């Protein structure tokens, strides 16, 4: 029993007036049998050690997909395709798939709100995302690749 629950039960017991408590000459009503303990929740699969990097990669792919489309680059759809390939390669559980796809979509939407046309800032962001993506992929492959 947790300390918080024990404190709560003690406070409730002290708050009940003495007249409401059963006396020695009165019979206490029969108590219900204690409920069986609830089964433990199913264990979540442990996250991959490179999960944080995959989420960041998903964000960058979403940003690149939007920015390259806005700048009418020939590889605009490549980034969405790479995200699909990443999800397929990982074969994640549904909740993990949702996190990866959600990171991609959230980043896409965020960049879409701020960049509706191709600007020098958008082109600079693309260059930085490409550099960071290359670095991140190389790092994950070096650490966890087989």
Average pLDDT over residues 58-74: 95
User: Residue 141, Cβ neighbours under 10 Å: how many?
Assistant: 11
For 21, which DSSP code?
Answer: S
pTM to 2 decimal places: 0.67
pLDDT at residue 8 above 50? no
pLDDT at position 41: 61
For 19, which DSSP code?
Answer: G
User: Residue 79, Cβ neighbours under 10 Å: how many?
Assistant: 24
Domain residue spans in the chain? Answer: 51-144
Question: How far apart (Å, rounded) are the C-alpha atoms in residues 146 and 144?
Answer: 7
């Amino acid at each position: 029993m947790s300390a918080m629950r024990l404190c709560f039960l003690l406070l409730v017991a002290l708050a009940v007036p003495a007249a409401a408590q059963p006396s020695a000459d009165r019979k206490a009503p029969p108590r219900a049998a204690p409920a069986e303990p609830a089964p433990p929740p199913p264990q979540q699969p442990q996250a991959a050690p490179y999960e944080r990097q995959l989420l960041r990669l998903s964000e960058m792919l979403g940003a690149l997909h939007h920015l390259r489309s806005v700048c009418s680059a020939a590889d605009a759809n490549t980034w969405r395709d790479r995200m699909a390939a990443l999800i397929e390669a990982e074969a994640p559980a549904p909740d993990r798939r949702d996190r990866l796809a959600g990171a991609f979509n959230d980043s896409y939407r965020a960049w879409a709100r701020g960049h509706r046309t191709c600007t020098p800032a958008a082109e600079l962001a693309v260059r930085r995302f490409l550099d960071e993506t290359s670095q991140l992929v190389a790092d994950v492959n070096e650490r966890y690749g087989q």
